[in-house]
Structure 1
Amino acid sequence: MNRIFMLIFLLISFVSEAQIQIKVVDAKTQTPLENVRVHPENGKAQITNASGVLAFSASQNQVFTFFKSGFDTFSATFGEGEHTVELYEKSLNLSEVTVSAFESERPLLEQSAAIAVVSEQDFSRFNETSIVNSFNTKPGVRIEERAPASYRISIRGSSIRAPFGVRNVKVYWNEVPFTAPDGTTALNLLDLSNIRNAEVIKGPSGSIYGAGNGGVVNLYSPANPIGGRVSADFMVGDFGMTRYRLGISQQVGNGGFEASYVSQKSDGYREQSAMDRQVFQLGGFFSVSDKQQIRTQLLVSDLDYQIPGGLNADQVAEDPTQARPGSVEQNSSISQQSVFASLEHVYTFSSKIKNSTTLYLNTNDFENPFLLDYKKELGFGYGGRTKFTYDGKLAGKYLRIIAGGEYQSSLTDAQNFGNRAGVADTVRFADKLRATQGFLFQQAEWNLTESLLLTFALSENFSSLEIDRQIDASGGDLGLQTRKFDPIVVPRFAVNYQFNDYSGVYGSISSGFSPPTIDEVRTNEGSLNLDLEAERGINYEVGYRMGKGKLNLDLTAFYFKLDQTITTYTNPQGVVLFRNAGSTDQKGIEAAIDYALIRNQTAFVRDLKIGTAFTGNYFTFANYQQGDNDFSGNDLTGVAPNTLVSRLDLRTALGFYLNFTHQYVDEIPLNDANTVYQDSYNLVNARFGWARSFAGKWELEAFAGVDNLLNESYSLGNDLNPFGGRYYQPAPTRNWYGGVKVAFLY
């Protein structure tokens, strides 16, 4: 009998044990969410059942983190009892999207600038071999790829001075300056898997990010790991393309680490356009205490790609897959190995004051055999950025002050040789190069009323270039030459007014500048153009945003006045040279509209969304005369007046999905005289597949897609003002790809 009473007592004790019961639902439809992975602060993770419910033993209050693919990660503290958690689908509407632009985490509706957000969903709509297609769905943004891994970014027409590479645009990766102090950015060292999402600030924003009239691109790696995850991807495609990725992420206490290795290869559409890239990334996040966090990043990249070169119209008509004559024989290509390491420390002094400081180091080994020469560079760079954030009140109204500074320096041994059949011959000239840039920044955001936000910002900038010529086979002068640019003060003023919780307007006046890069001052044939001036610009902008329910609307109009515009031309030897070309007038309109026709987690068609993005760039040379040629009033070279992108996305209950994209690009002037244009074209891409998760632990996806479905003949990046009419860099014709992804959560 005693044993029976004991058994009953234990059973009652077990049943009555305190529990935390949680039900997880979709925030919009209130339907239960199955297979949500829930991680308690202490103990093992669980997944929700078909009713969206799970339970934990309740010894004390603790933090729970909720993770489900396609939904925003959510964390909250719960104690004994029953609780309901609402998860929001990612990128629902503008009123719920938070961005970190201008060092201030605010909803997009409260940001007083034109900002484009490129999300994971945007990346996964295409083949994921590059960032090109996803960025090009955003108004005012255009990334060109003249050959695989040869990128050029144009934000509001800023690529006019970039015959190759990324210039006049500042790039940050995980809040670390990824743009070198000489003004260039090796964006092709990153694989798309190294980027979770991106924020593109359009137009000059030097008040807090330094030099760059084009804008700023903030790239962010995958988020801090939740639990453990092992993943693998594999993809193949036309033109010999193969890509595979291996990744692991592991939560460790309140921090964790994530690592990935990616290999991507292709033979290329054209002759001499093969590409081979391996990228390894290791990142760590560590919570030292309630007040301190540390984040580390290591990126090792090994990139080799060939350069087919530009063709003239007759060569394109004859065979668009051919390389420029001489490119194959001279092995025109780039080989680049780089290591990038950073350390970020965040310290919270109090509820009002916080500091974030980041230091970085990088090395770069660069070789570039070209038709006319053979360039070798070995470089080392370092720098850092620090900011203090104060949240308080002024006259009883909320006030946020951000202040800090950034400094970068690089040292490069640069040698130019003759090119004998792809092998470095005798040295022609050799230099030791140093580039330095730095600035202090201050920004104040003041909520004058609950609806009115004022922003005042200012930065003080300095930069310099040093070229110490060691060897000059032509007999030119040796020794050190220096160009120090005058300190430049860059102000910004902006205002944002919210009509209600889902709509508002903003206006801003911002000044910007962009000094010449070292590649523009020091050209491939050995001359030095130290008289090249920095571009100066001022931008006026107004915008309206609305995000409510199923509809998003984002409208912007701007006027940008640029002086001392840097443009390109090519001499008879084929060397790209640079010059200041008077001023430009740049008037533009940008519009993005998205609408969810269907959003129902209980129906067969779970999501059906459409969207369109329009860019109107009406840019002209205001004052531009070269010799006897007056190009004033001509359209700005390399800029399409109109582009229109339309999207359709479908997702079903069975896991099948379809992403369809159409892009129209207007004709593009290819020379300053406006006598040669690239014809307008229509580019259609589609991706379809099946994706499901099983038992909250397995994720599986199979997909296939087609690029350039209409088989258009076009160039995704032309050469501007080239010698010999070599304007065209033909892009791939219709091509297919397919692949699989698998992940295991533990």
Structure 2
Amino acid sequence: MRIIFLVFLSLLSLAGNAQDIHLTILDKSSGRPVPDVLVKSSDDQKTTDLNGVVILDASRKISYVLSHVSYIASIYKTNDSLEDTVYLEPSSLALNEIVVQGFGSQKPLVDQPAAISHVSKKALARFDETSLVDAFNTVPGIRMEERAPNSYRISIRGSSLRAPFGVRNVKVYWNGIPYTAPDGTTALNLLDFSNISQADIIKGPAGSIYGAGNGGVIRLKSDLSDVQGGKASAEFMGGAFGTIRYRMGLQQSIKNGGMSASYVRQKSDGFRDQSASDRKVFQWGSSWNTSSNNTLNFSILYTDLYYELPGALTAEQMAEDRTQARPGSEDKNASITQKALFTGLNYDYSLGQHWDAETSGYVTTSDFDNPFNTDYKKESQFGYGGRTRFTYKNNLSDNVTIEWISGAEYQFSKTTADNFGNVGGKADTLRFSDDLFVQQYFLFTQAELGLPGDFYLTAGISQNNLKYDINRKVDVSTGLAYDRSRDFDPVWVPRITLLKKLTADQSVRAAVSYGFSPPTIDEVRTNEGSLNLDLEAEKGTNYELGYRASFWNKRVNTDITFFYFKLDQTITTYTNPVGVVLFRNAGETDQKGVEFNINYDLIKQSTGVVNQLSLQHSYTGHFFKFKNYRQGEDDYSGNDLTGVAPNTLANTLDLNTSFGFYMNLTHQFVDEVPLNDENTVYQEKYNLVSSRIGWRRLLSTHWELEVYGGIQNLFDEQYSRGNDLNPYGQRYYQPALGRNGFACLKLAFNY
């Protein structure tokens, strides 16, 4: 009996020591409790009650992921406190709560000394999730076009003028790794929508730390956030014109990090003849916290892409049948097949109390086949490169701080390019064959001083170097083999900005920056075989004023920028009589503009039926003119710059409810666009209205469900989503989809 009594006392003692953590989760903006938050560890899952409370085991020191459809996910680590409180940030944030990386370390958007727009995961997912086009077109100053399915080009402040296809004059980074090729082109269509969780877009010359590119910089990021336990997900979407998309994904926590893998296939029959597409993408990513301040990320991306090219139509052909392909496109099997592998590494590490650094590198290979109406091109490419930067932060005195950044970036590529005749969509006789070598590198340094009176002075400069080597192995027309090269003189690119914090929620800034953008290898080496080595780089100076502010308890956010960009040696396109796109310098252009964005939350609360009701208005005014531009006896000085709409407007409405129902409405207006330098042909102005309605819910602590559907181009506007500029034969128009719908089912299991 004595032994039994002692055992009983021991059990009572253990029961008395067993304690729980009462964790309360509140809305950071309102301080109200947030119910239905999923609290998930590697082996446990719970949800908060109506008071925002969840009970956790205090005996285990582990990490939990806190997630809710209306809030940004957060990590909570248990400690010795038995009563604890966590504040979640709503997914709709004020400017001083949105943290982005622009010209230095991460800091709130209101403190950024540049024209930067942040596109969140929520903003990207307002449409059908097949591309970035519609989401990017709600951002002031940005215009993304899709001339054919999976054929994208991005214009930042009119920078797409020289891009008959592909993304040029804009520098792109993916997970901190240089993604733009060394010659300045970016194959954005190799990325699936699911490979991008957010984007930070720097508008205007950013060469002080990012190198060449007058358009700007786009920093894309995948979701490599902390994972607790595991998650398996699947989704299926169907839409008009035979559109099918499915995705399978897996996330798994591992020691000091996590990994994720996904496979996506997206295919469509196309709105027009000869416009089918099929893309298969596999991504694998992992993240390790090698120490408390060091993080290593590794990514692999493999893409198998095929899409047909319907070609541009004349106005008469558009009126006859806007779904037809350009005559000859089907017979020639005009299309692109590309298989590409991209492997990248990014390491963010600390070097002591005041120093930290980031180093990234990549290796890429690609095979490219392009039968076209005029020829057949085959390319294989191999490239590598990397970037490193070192950052020093310290207080120089009680009133002066410094953040100094220095580093370098290097890229190299070799491309074997063969051009053939095209007979029935098959490669015929070889016309010419080249080995193309591109090498570019730049060094950069920048200092930001925090001065008395809440002034911040930023000054940076880079030295840029670029060289093309073209080894012409075969040229049937001349029978000669020869080497040509173009070594651009080193270019110094400075930038200086002064920012004044008016209050914690308001800032005003002034900036002057110099930019340059050399021609790409595709602009120097044309598909007809000529080498345009005399093509000059675009160069110009940009002047900018900006203001950012949050009002009404941070429920109203506004961002306005005025700029004047004086550009010299502007590169524009034209088409010769056989249909080959060529390039030429067009003298000087004056580019004046205003970009304005305001968003406000009419309702923003964690309790009640409606959690959020918000509106956003984005306006772009781009008033661009040729200043000094003559071609032979033709004088285009004073004409509107080709391919740029003077006015665009985007209006959005978002509704989120406590029971999971949500609605997104979008209106986009695009003004008339001049399609030739003479300003005699315009695309007419148009309005697009789109909607998405859905329901998402945690069915249990393990299962998540989302169902959504929508309509795009609700009023069946007839317009071009991308046009051909200065074409031969009056073939200006690339008709876009009419009214179309979509529906999707997403299911996830947390384990």
Q: Same fold (TM over 0.5)?
A: yes
Partners of 1:455 and 1:19 in 2: how far apart? Answer: 50
Note the C-alpha offset of 1:65.
4.3
1:722 maps to amino acid: P
- Residue matched to 1:259: 261
Report the counterpart of residue 360 of structure 2 in structure 1.
358
- Which residue does the alignment assign to 2:572? 567
Asked if the contact 1:139/1:590 (under 8 Å) is kept, the reply is yes
The alpha-carbon distance between structure 1 residues 686 and 582, as it changes in their structure 2 partners (threshold 3 A), is same
Residues 450 and 692 of structure 1: CA distance in aligned 2, closer, same or farther (over 3 Å):
farther
Match for residue 382 of structure 1?
Answer: 384
SS state at 2:437 partner: strand
Q: Does structure 1 conserve the Cα–Cα contact (< 8 Å) formed by 2:497 and 2:512?
A: yes
- Structure 2 residue identity aligned to 1:366: F
Report if aligned partners of 1:230, 1:249 keep a CA contact under 8 Å in 2: yes
Q: Is the 8 A contact 2:34 2:607 kept in 1?
A: no
Contact in 1 for aligned 2:542/2:566 (Cα 8 Å): yes
1:200 alignment counterpart: 201
* Higher mean C-alpha displacement, 11-20 vs 649-658: 11-20
CA contact (8 A) 1:713 1:730 kept: yes
Q: 1:551 to 1:56 in 2, by over 3 A?
A: same
What letter is aligned with 2:324?
A: Q
Q: CA deviation at 1:80?
A: 2.9
Q: Does 1:543 pair with 2:579?
A: no
CA distance in 2, matches of 1:254, 1:547: 37
The superposition leaves residues 173-206 of structure 1 with CA deviations (integer Å, 9 ceiling, x where unpaired) of: 0111111001111000000000000011000100
Task: Confirm or deny that 1:671 pairs with 2:672.
Answer: no
User: Partners of 2:742 and 2:59 in 1: how far apart?
Assistant: 52
SS at match of 2:96: helix
Shift in alpha-carbon separation, 1:350–1:39, aligned structure 2, 3 A = farther
Q: Is 2:424 aligned against 1:421?
A: yes
Q: Secondary structure at the match of 2:318?
A: helix
Structure 2 residue 401 is the aligned partner of structure 1 residue 398? yes
Deviations 1:508-534 (A, max 9, x none): 111110000000000000000000011
- TM-score w.r.t. the length of structure 1 is 0.97
From 484, 488, 495, the equivalent of 1:485 is: 488
Per the alignment, do residues 237 and 510 of structure 1 end up closer, same or farther by CA in structure 2, a change over 3 Å counting? same
1:642 aligns with 2:627: no
Bigger Cα displacement from structure 2, 282-291 vs 524-533: 282-291
Q: Which runs of 5+ in 1 are unaligned?
A: none
Question: Is contact 1:62–1:79 with CA below 8 Å preserved after alignment?
Answer: no
Residue 553, structure 1, aligned to residue 558, structure 2: yes
Structure 1 residue 450, shift from structure 2 partner: 5.9
Amino acid at match of 1:299: L
Counterpart residue number, 2:535: 532
Q: Which residue is equivalent to 2:73?
A: 73
- 1:576-615 map, 5 Å: 576-615=581-620
1:620 pairs with 2:625 = yes
Paired residue type of 2:55:
A
Q: Deviation per CA, 1:382-402: give whole Å up to 9, x if none.
A: 000001111112244221111
Report the Cα distance in structure 1 between the residues aligned to 2:411 and 2:459, rounded to whole angstroms: 25
CA distance in 1, matches of 2:582, 2:537: 15
| Per-residue Cα deviation, 1:421-472 (whole angstroms, up to 9, x for no partner) | 1000010000000011110111111111362111111111000111000000
The yes-or-no answer on 1:444 pairing with 2:447 is yes
In structure 1, how many angstroms separate the alpha carbons of the residues matched to 2:638 and 2:699?
Answer: 61
1:103 aligned to 2:104?
yes
8 Å CA contact 1:568, 1:578 repeated in 2: yes
Give the match's secondary structure for 2:186.
coil
1:116, CA displacement in angstroms?
Answer: 1.1
- What does 1:247-326 align with in structure 2 at a 5 Å threshold? 247-326=249-328
Contact 1:200 1:216 in 2 (8 A): yes
TM-aligned CA deviation for residue 693 of structure 1? 1.3
**For 2:501 and 2:747, how far apart are their aligned partners in 1?**
44
Q: Which residue of 1 aligns with 2:156?
A: 155
Report the 3-state secondary structure (helix = DSSP H, G, I; strand = E; otherwise coil) of the residue aligned with 1:158: coil
- SS of the aligned residue for 1:516 comes to coil
Where 2:378 maps in the other structure, the secondary structure is strand
Q: Tell whether 2:227 aligns with 1:216.
A: no
Distance 1:231 1:606 in 2: 26
1:575 maps to a residue whose letter is V
CA distance in 1, matches of 2:303, 2:593: 37
Q: Report how far residue 656 of structure 1 moved.
A: 1.4
For structure 1, which segment, 735-744 or 646-655, has the greater mean C-alpha deviation from structure 2 after superposition?
A: 646-655
Distance apart, 1:476 and its partner CA: 5.4
Shift of 1:690: 1.0
CA deviation profile, 1:85-140 (whole Å, cap 9, x unmatched):
11011232112100011232010000011111111111211000000000000000
Question: Which residue type is aligned with residue 331 of structure 2?
Answer: E
2:414 is aligned to 411
Correspondence for 2:37: 36
CA-to-partner distance for each residue in 1:562-615, whole Å, 9 max, x for gaps? Answer: 001001111111111101110100000010010111112222122111111000
Deviations 1:60-90 (A, max 9, x none): 8665543333322333553233111110112
CA distance in 2, matches of 1:580, 1:280: 40
Mapped to 2, the partners of 1:745 and 1:410 lie a distance apart of 42
Whole-Å separation in 2 of the counterparts to 1:130 and 1:60: 43
Match of 1:54 in 2: 54
Q: TM-score, normalised by structure 2?
A: 0.97
Q: Secondary structure at the residue paired with 2:160?
A: helix
Query: How far apart are 1:7 and its partner, in Å?
Result: 3.1
Name the residue aligned to 1:172. Answer: 173
Moved more, 97-106 or 731-740: 97-106
Contact 1:116–1:199 at 8 Å: present in 2 too? yes
Query: How far, CA to CA, are the matches of 2:222 and 2:453 in structure 1?
Result: 34
Match of 1:498 in 2: 501
- 2:690 matches 1:685: yes
The whole-number CA distance in structure 1 between the counterparts of 2:50 and 2:256 is 29
Secondary structure of the structure 2 residue equivalent to 1:72:
strand
Tell me the SS of whatever aligns to 1:508.
strand
- Which range moved further: 316-325 or 117-126? 117-126
**Shift of residue 678, structure 1, vs aligned partner:** 0.4
Report if the CA contact (8 A) 1:195-1:222 is conserved. Answer: yes
Which residue identity lines up with residue 464 of structure 2 in the other structure?
A: N
Match of 1:465 in 2: 468
Residues 1:653 and 2:658 are matched in the alignment? yes
Q: Is the 8 A contact 1:285 1:295 kept in 2?
A: yes
Question: 1:391 is matched by which residue type in structure 2?
Answer: K
C-alpha displacement at 1:284, in angstroms?
0.6
Unaligned runs of 5+ in 2: none
CA separation in 2, counterparts of 1:201 and 1:552?
A: 19
Structure 2 distance, partners of 1:405, 1:37, is 43
Q: Which amino acid aligns with 1:616?
A: G
**Cα distance in structure 2, aligned partners of 1:451 and 1:76:** 33
Give 3-state SS (helix, strand or coil) of 1:129's partner. coil
1:355 offset after TM fit, Å?
1.6
1:612 alignment partner AA:
H
SS at match of 2:722: coil
Amino acid at match of 1:108: L
- After the TM superposition, which of the residue ranges 264-273 and 694-703 deviates more from structure 2? 694-703
Q: Deviations over 1:492-520 (max 9, x none)?
A: 10111111111111111111100000000
Comparing 482-491 with 225-234, greater Cα deviation is found at 225-234
Find the aligned partners of 2:694 and 2:349 in 1 and give their Cα distance. 44
Equivalent residue in structure 2 for 1:629, among 630, 634, 640: 634
Is 2:84 the partner of 1:83? yes
Quote the Cα distance in structure 2 between the aligned partners of 1:150 and 1:61.
50
Deviation (angstroms), 1:244: 0.3
Against the structure 1 CA distance between its residues 642 and 359, is the aligned structure 2 distance closer, same or farther, given a 3 Å change threshold? same
Amino acid at match of 1:167: R
SS at match of 2:103: helix
- Offset at 1:31? 2.8
Give RMSD over aligned pairs.
1.6
